[in-house]
Amino acid sequence: MISYPNCKINLGLNVVRRRPDGYHDLETIFLPAPLHDILQIEEATHFSFTQDGLTLDSGTEENLVVKAYRLMQRHTGIGNVAIHLTKKIPFGAGLGGGSSDATFTLCMLDKIFQLNLGKARLKEMASELGADCTFFVDNVPAYATGVGDILTPLGFNPIEGFELRIEKPEGETVSTSEAYRGVTQKNNSHIPLPKAVKEKPELWRQMIINDFEASVFPNHPRIAQLKQQFYDQGAIYASMTGSGAAVFGIFDSNKQPTI
């Protein structure tokens, strides 16, 4: 079986508060994005995991795809599989590529072994692998709160009909811990995201922000430069996604690009 785990972008990201457990409550809009990896899984006499494409610096057992398989194996007793991952989604980018790979692995294993676990059970298992993993079960535009694990489907795609471009400055990575360390207080000036995304994208620049940009940009000026580059090219909205380092630009596909 083969699937194409897609990435996501964050349309706005507001850090609400630091929780007693050390995590942070946030609010954001998760949107599926068309950049994807390639994941192949088939039953086998012994377990194997191979990978090509972008090179990851983690060992086999640390890869979220393998962790997803081990999790499913513990919960259901499934047999061995051969997994091959072609990595195309940049990592350390705020695009959720690893989370997507993990969740797609769970869903594929559910189908291959005819487990019929249902979406609620798959989401429960996905949440054990990462806060944003549950998003990729439904994989539809959603308003996320909590640590990114409480999802409310938007019911529409606010960037449908627009061109989406995603880039990551070569060599730039931003760890999640670094991004959170720089957020000193809650920004209370924003318009609630569920309301803001219903406005025209041309108005988002004054309404929708990513709280991490204020602390990430001074330490990673190339990320800030990329955002400005998108605006210089005619983007109607541009932002860093998640904790970075990727940046996306939204363009009116009916307009000629700016040279």
Triad 130, 25, 249: Cα angle to 5°: 75
Catalytic residue among 8, 123, 168, 227: 8
For residue 132, indicate whether it is catalytic.
Answer: yes
Q: Which ranges constitute the DSSP H helices of the chain?
A: 64-76, 97-112, 119-127, 135-138, 176-181, 193-196, 213-219, 221-232
66 φ, ψ (degrees, to nearest 5) = -70, -40
**What is the CB neighbour count within 10 angstroms for residue 184?**
8
164 φ, ψ (degrees, to nearest 5) = -115, 125
Catalytic residue among 37, 110, 132, 211: 132
For residue 110, indicate whether it is catalytic.
Answer: no
Task: Locate 200 and state its tokens.
Answer: 């025209």
Task: Identify the residue whose tokens are 């061995």.
Answer: 80
Task: Identify the residue whose tokens are 């590529």.
Answer: 97
- Which residues have a catalytic role annotated? 8, 132
